[in-house]
Amino acid sequence: MGDHALDRVGRGAPYRYDDEPALGVAHARAQALLERYNATRHEEDTLRVELLGELFGAVGEGVVVKPSLRCDYGTPVTIGAGTFINYDCVMLDVAPIAIGAHCQIASRVQLLTAEHPVDPEPRRAGWETARPITIGDNVWLGGGVIVCPGVTIGADSVIGAGSVVTRDIEAGVVAVGNPARVLRPVS
């Protein structure tokens, strides 16, 4: 894609949505695909697989995503083989979201890469940035988990329902709370 607007903002460059027409085009494309995806019937598994392949940057074999699904652009998202994503997942994918293989993502999980300035002047002017989210293999995100911009969750970790993950979580641990804190090793 070269220096496409989504590539630039996905690397953390400040941007204003209104100043980047390519973002509007990419967003419209994703919304059209999501509309089709979210309207699929239960028995239309083949169509769902095709639409996910068109929407996302990469989708491994055996991935299941239950509608409804929401995202901004789709192409910055990659999902590893055997991952299950339950109902009502939201992915604000201005920056890349990499989900490993064999993950379990419960209902109403939010993966949020976009962020706004704390300073009110640039926020009022519409400036934004984004930082990627990485979820390792075999991670379980409980219902309603929120993963904030720039977070990496290590392989085999479990994040308890309702947790808000504001910083990196190492591999092989159980973390819960707001903000999420490590309780113990998985085993």
- Between CA 185 and CA 187 the distance in angstroms is 5
Q: Say how far residue 138 (Cα) sits from the centre of its chain.
A: 16
- What count of other Cβ atoms lies within 10 Å of the Cβ of residue 53? 12
* DSSP per-residue codes, 124-153: HTTEEEE--EEE-TT-EE-TT-EE-TT-EE
* φ/ψ (deg, to 5) at 112: -120, 105
Q: Which residues are known to be catalytic?
A: 116
